[in-house]
Amino acid sequence: MASIVELREVENLLSQKNKGRIVLTGGCFDILHVGHVRFLSEAKKLGDTLVVLLESDENVKKLKGKNRPVFFQKERAEMLSALRSVDLIVLLPMMESDGDYSKLVMKIRPDIIVLTERDPLFEKKKEQAKKVGGELKVISLTETYSTSKLGGILGVD
């Protein structure tokens, strides 16, 4: 099972061990589905250690709507930790600005930042990858799966 850590622990944990090529991604992962599993599996193939930045409950509500998250952050982390592809999950507090994310990426110093082709923060992540001397890799989405669409079906918008 993957390690689940608080933000303040991540830098020490990554510096203590040789983690090889670090792959970084992030998200809400509120209603975990096969599209997430496939995305994370593909991300893991790009390196040795897959680090997932897991959004706070407050940020999921802000991004997804008043009825979200369906699962609390620690529950979402527990589900992600059961996936073979995930090595480390970082429980994010409410991040106030893009600068907070950039500082965190600078601490982690990933070799690769992974995102989907429709990621609204594509340009910011591209800039972050450049700052740490890493690569930006795009993984295609599984078209039939979307947490937002599933949420509508389940009545959780």
Active-site residues: which are they? 62, 64
Report H helices in 5-146: 10-16, 34-44, 57-64, 73-81, 98-108, 122-131
Task: For the chain, count helices (H), then strands (E).
Answer: 7, 6
Cis bond upstream, residue 120 (ω within 30) = no
Instruction: Supply 77's token pair.
Output: 């982390």
